[in-house]
Structure 1
Amino acid sequence: MSEAEKARAATIFDVARLAGVSHQTVSRVLNDLPNVRPATRDRVERAITQLRYVPSQAARALVTRRSRTIGLITTGAPDFGPSSTALHFNEAAREARYAVIMSSMLETDPASLRAAAEMLVRQNVEAVVLVAAHRSALEAVQGVELGVPLVAVASQGAAIAHRVTIDQFEGARRAVSHLVELGHRDIRHLAGPTDSLDASERDRGWRDVLAANGLDAVEPLIGDWTPASGYRLGARLATDASSTAVFVANDQMALGVIHALADAGRRVPEDVSIVAFDDIPEAEHFSPPLTTVRQDFDQLGRDAMSTVLTLLGDEQAENPPMRVPTLMVRASTAEVSRMPEVSRTTAAVAGSSGSRRGRRS
């Protein structure tokens, strides 16, 4: 292909890729609109010159017309957190007079996720928001050039330029610190799936608090977020008389754990204290009402939309601050001193010998 043919073949997306910006930023430069930083404008102009880009009639329509549409990709099962975030993102977009095109994916293999993102771009969305439940979802989009801003809702992902999140690590630290303050020394953990970004951060917070207090971290049991897995693994936890507290990675699994403990004749919180994560609407109506970590999914969805709007006006915009969740203390946790004598004795023995144990479940 000759240089002239290359120039004629160049598109606004080619310019955007070469300059490292979105096609909306190229549009603003071509139309001499404000809200483009001088350094960014210079990169775009150099890319236009290098590619000898001349807008076609179709490209001019793209330059001068905004679709006011955002693409939203949700991954994994329709669990409470991701579903609530998507709902509130849609509400925030509607209030900003944007439409949302959604693509929901249960499985997140790289090829399918990239295809979903490219499909949204072909529908002329101004940005793409990815609600990433699993590590594989983030890995699939890292380094992919869409030509539009990409915002990830994810608790990890340093390689993603624009990300909004709730601090899962700090939330877990607050939950486990609460148990330590109540006098518990043998604190088990029922974790979420190994590929889950949130589960990994909650596991890390649990380990951090135990290490800071000189307590052993018995290898956690791994659930799948469902009450059924909580019940199955809770039955195993019920056989461990030395354990006086469990940090459960989400409320649904905690429901199953409480059920399993009750079936085994162990009471919550008299025999075992339970603290969980999410604060689903039903949590305060568990029996007993559940101590859990509340996440503000309303604000998270709005943070995602706010970031999109900021990026559409300024390619170099910074991410919003990480939100810190709130511990909601209810009746499922209690001081060790309030537990029956046999449980207090067991807990004391477990605590004094904890440094000598290296158990694995």
Structure 2
Amino acid sequence: MGAGQGAGQRVGDHDDKARAATIFDVARLAGVSHQTVSRVLNDLPNVRPATRARVEQAIKQLRYVPSPAARALVTRRTRTLGLIVTGAPDYGPSSTALYFNEAARDARYTVITASMRETDAASMRSTAELLVRQNVEAIVLIAAERAALDALDGIELGVPVVAVASEERGALHRVWLDQYTGARLAVDHLIGLGHREIRHIAGPSNAMDAAERVRGWAATLGEHGLPAREPLVGDWSPGSGYMHGRTLASDSEMTSVFVSNDQMALGVMHAFAEAGLSVPGDVSIVGFDDIPEAAFFAPPLTTLRQDFVGLGRDAMASVLAVLGDDDRTPAPRVPDLVVRTSTAAPSRERVTLTS
């Protein structure tokens, strides 16, 4: 590459940064909170000279042009937070929201909640802006679908956003449960029992948790030299599990199924019972979430227990850290494998049939 080309490329890179840079980009580059950047922008006191110099250098490097929202960002404490919960009222998001609210109350914060079934960009942004107008200090987003993250990534709201999400976006702080490792635990359990044909019923294609579970399932099978057949895609409901269970019931090679949530696993069990297949005598089943009913399925379901209590508290801890000039985030929580009687070694008859 010639000198002229290199210079041209650098200018283009700076132009991209100038268009994309937000107050949070400046804060991240300078190693401070967005409130500190706001104090520098407004030439307020109580900013150390070295810190002010770092912020000013970051502003210059990113060619950041502050918006009116950034300049007007208040530093007084309202002790009010915004919470956006997206998608259907499923067990995981609902539980996380409940325990986040408990943690916020313990910290003497009030929470204004907005629940959204649809996550189009315009609706997401208008909801976030409405919360900002209520003088919230931060917004927590419990995102089931990646569209919700995309809608808020890169827009300047004047307050930090903490996302509870399985995928990362550059401008958002994040806490999460490690769905990938959870899926690996499920598949390792089945392989350890002797299963070699392990099917998967996945969640919706736009669901981040579902994508991470597919990734963990496929990676674990690949590491053991086992085939990863095309997953069947459900919608988290028992009905979709039942539909795919009827399809799998005629699969003579299958000896086990890893199902992406417990509700779909319930439908699979029902379909197998109708087809005359015994669980776990003919087919083993592993679910995900450990909903309260899972221990009372017939048979009780082996599943991955997710720490939604801890996740809700992690979201609040991340809010407090960000508001306190600390960008450290809690480590992801790994689900626990709960072994019940829906899994066992494959029957000798079925192994003979599939070999």
TM-score, structure 1 as length reference: 0.83
Q: What's the counterpart of residue 149 of structure 1?
A: 160
Runs of 4+ in 1 over 4 A off after TM superposition: 15-23, 26-31, 44-47
Q: What's the counterpart of residue 39 of structure 1?
A: 51
Q: How does 1:195-206 map to 2 (within 5 A)?
A: 195-206=206-217
Contact 2:149 2:169 in 1 (8 A): no
Instruction: Find the residue that maps to 1:278 and give its secondary structure.
Output: coil
Structure 2 alignment gaps of length 5 or more: 1-21
- Do structure 1's residue 287 and structure 2's residue 298 form an aligned pair? yes
Q: What's the counterpart of residue 98 of structure 2?
A: 87
Q: What's the counterpart of residue 346 of structure 1?
A: 353
Q: Select 1:216's aligned residue among 212, 227, 231.
A: 227
Structure 1 alignment gaps of length 5 or more: 1-14, 350-361
**What amino acid sits opposite 2:83 in the alignment?**
L
Q: What's the counterpart of residue 359 of structure 1?
A: none
**What amino acid sits opposite 1:86 in the alignment?**
A
How big is each residue's C-alpha offset from its partner over 1:171-207, in whole Å with a ceiling of 9 and x where there is no partner?
0000001000111011000000000000000000000
Using the alignment, how far apart are the partners of 1:171 and 1:19 within structure 2? 35
**What amino acid sits opposite 1:324 in the alignment?**
V
Superposition deviation, residue 43 in structure 1: 2.3
Using the alignment, how far apart are the partners of 2:26 and 2:180 within structure 1? 36
Q: What's the counterpart of residue 338 of structure 2?
A: 328
Superposition deviation, residue 157 in structure 1: 1.6
Compared CA separation, residues 40 and 220, structure 1 to 2 (3 A):
farther
Compared CA separation, residues 289 and 41, structure 1 to 2 (3 A):
farther
Question: Number of matched residues?
Answer: 324
Superposition deviation, residue 144 in structure 1: 1.0
Contact 2:177 2:332 in 1 (8 A): yes
How big is each residue's C-alpha offset from its partner over 1:125-160, in whole Å with a ceiling of 9 and x where there is no partner?
000111110011111111111111111000112424
Superposition deviation, residue 44 in structure 1: 6.5
Q: What's the counterpart of residue 183 of structure 1?
A: 194
- Do structure 1's residue 258 and structure 2's residue 269 form an aligned pair? yes
Instruction: Find the residue that maps to 1:333 and give its secondary structure.
Output: coil
Segment drifting more, 36-45 vs 297-306 = 36-45
Using the alignment, how far apart are the partners of 1:265 and 1:288 within structure 2? 15
Contact 2:24 2:171 in 1 (8 A): no
Superposition deviation, residue 343 in structure 1: 1.3
Superposition deviation, residue 28 in structure 1: 5.7
Compared CA separation, residues 46 and 131, structure 1 to 2 (3 A):
closer
Q: How does 1:292-311 map to 2 (within 5 A)?
A: 292-311=303-322
How big is each residue's C-alpha offset from its partner over 1:307-343, in whole Å with a ceiling of 9 and x where there is no partner?
00010010x512211111110010000012xx2x421
Q: What's the counterpart of residue 3 of structure 1?
A: none
**What amino acid sits opposite 2:163 in the alignment?**
A
Aligned-residue CA RMSD in angstroms? 2.9
